Structure 1
């Protein structure tokens, strides 16, 4: 039973940590500077939201939204959180089985799970807009578009990209002002955290995504950015890919001072990590600098969405706990 639960959780991690395959047409989010966000936010405050609007998602997919959407389906938990953060919860008519935040999201009709999306049900609900994770499945997208449904895809891997996606969803739904205000609040909190850690010595950090095989977060992942911004040095930054497998010998050789992971299985504990063969000489193990994100913290860490600044604070507190007392 534990093995089955573990495999299900791994599938979840593979989804939310961007290990899903994307088509060769995918286009990365363009990073938005704080100055750009602030200036755009100021302009938005003075504008009157009007439709139709042309929207371009993270993959160069352009759609024209004729009128303010009243029925929206979200096929990814981070997109669901964006919708609720912008006050669009009453317009959400369909979600996936892993869209569990905020609590109200659990009351929405489930139209997707790990086995796939119920396209027949989605078309039957006749939404104005569907938000998907990544580029999505080409055949699924075709079916939705042929049904006259607008489809937008997002897969952020940086804080700026998350903010850009929030801005885009705000524009697509008539919530420009709310998006601008939310982004400003994110920036304010982010700057508070960065100010606390800016003069600290870099601490070597390892983030375990999965344990068998050992997988981590490398350069190009939002986890790597969170570690770096928090005053840490990600020992896997030069690994091959954003979420690669990682060799135990290299882990021991690079000797992280802090070991971070999430409670992806019931039997993952500090003691179980300490007891792994070969781990005994790692600094983080010797000095009890192992931090397992559990419950709501695990949820926050697994999603690059509106709560990504909370994730930044969780990582910063784990690396520099003395600064957050």
Structure 2
């Protein structure tokens, strides 16, 4: 009996040792694979240069080498670069680039409407990334200085995700881009699933108050309202940010009234406007002012904007 106990103990020890050896081997193998993946990414980043990139406006731009000095001409692009761990490579930003806080410490080159081209050239960037098509005269000056210029204008969450991957490829930050976009996609899909069976209240988003302007079809806000489980009452308007009459607002009678936090605008101010007292959103105290830099800035935080929108429209689902 004693011999059997000893044999059983030895057998268990052997199983434990064998199992540990197998697990160790698997772990070591996975670590080696990860090292190979890392090496592969590094190699890929090296051999991809020079690379030719086509931006959102069909411009084919040759990137001669890994960009080490980058200027961002839009707050959203600045957020992407910092999110990908490229903050130390950013040498210039606009006056409105305020997130993350480190971006405020970078050299300022003006803003989208008043760009200091001389300052850009003085900073000797390898790459300039702007939002929208830009001004032809300024674009030509940047290109004539031998600086690569890329223009992007994402108009949906998916296009932001695609842009992050693109910037990751261009800058050699593929891994960070992949992790970022996986996180964004997961959050977006979770929220969509959360609200999919909820009743869709009628929503109005005020872009401007005098004249009254709405977030129309094709705008970021329109997509956020829809994905967050609401019905945008301006979804059939002409243009992304159309004028919207008081008569139509009253006729369509939104149940949720949204706007952006800004100086001089308050919920009480909106609620006391002439004619608004018969709107359901006013009567039921469902007027909200949201953080514009999160709600409408097409960068990595746009899924946080979606979450804010969903919690505002459907607070009952996020208790």
> In 2, distance between residues paired with 1:180 and 1:56?
20
Instruction: Quote the residue 1:36 is aligned against.
Output: none
- Answer yes or no: is the 8 Å Cα contact 2:204–2:257 preserved in 1: yes
Measured on the aligned residues, the alpha-carbon RMSD in Å equals 1.3
CA displacement, residues 85-139 of structure 1 (integer Å, 9 cap, x when unaligned): 1111000000010000000000000001365000011011110000111011111
> In 2, distance between residues paired with 1:205 and 1:157?
20
- Answer yes or no: is the 8 Å Cα contact 1:55–1:63 preserved in 2: yes
Q: How many residues align?
A: 278
3-state secondary structure, aligned to 2:312 = helix
Pairs within 5 Å for 1:180-219? 180-219=178-217
- 4+ aligned runs moved over 6 Å, structure 1: none
Residue of structure 1 aligned with 2:160, choices 154, 162, 165: 162
3-state secondary structure, aligned to 1:200 = coil
Residue of structure 2 aligned with 1:316, choices 303, 310, 313: 310
Q: Verify: 1:173 aligned to 2:167, yes or no.
A: no
> In 2, distance between residues paired with 1:64 and 1:174?
15
Instruction: Quote the residue 1:53 is aligned against.
Output: 51
- Unaligned residue ranges in structure 1 (runs of 5+): 1-43
- Answer yes or no: is the 8 Å Cα contact 1:301–1:311 preserved in 2: yes
More helix per residue: 1 or 2? 2
> Could you tell me the TM-score, scaled by structure 1's length?
0.83
> In 2, distance between residues paired with 1:298 and 1:236?
19
Bigger Rg over Cα: 2
User: Looking at both structures, which has the greater relative contact order when contacts are Cα pairs under 8 Å and sequence separation is at least 6?
Assistant: 1
Instruction: Quote the residue 1:288 is aligned against.
Output: 285
- Answer yes or no: is the 8 Å Cα contact 2:221–2:296 preserved in 1: no
> In 2, distance between residues paired with 1:114 and 1:55?
22
> In 2, distance between residues paired with 1:230 and 1:62?
36
Instruction: Quote the residue 1:85 is aligned against.
Output: 83
Instruction: Quote the residue 1:276 is aligned against.
Output: 273
Pairs within 5 Å for 1:3-14? none
CA displacement, residues 297-324 of structure 1 (integer Å, 9 cap, x when unaligned): 3321131111110000011011000111
3-state secondary structure, aligned to 1:49 = helix
1:185 shift after superposition: 0.7
> Could you tell me the TM-score, scaled by structure 2's length?
0.85
- Answer yes or no: is the 8 Å Cα contact 2:296–2:302 preserved in 1: no
- Answer yes or no: is the 8 Å Cα contact 2:196–2:229 preserved in 1: yes
CA displacement, residues 254-284 of structure 1 (integer Å, 9 cap, x when unaligned): 000000111222x211110011011010000
Instruction: Quote the residue 2:29 is aligned against.
Output: none
> In 1, distance between residues paired with 2:209 and 2:101?
30
1:56 shift after superposition: 1.3
Instruction: Quote the residue 1:299 is aligned against.
Output: 293
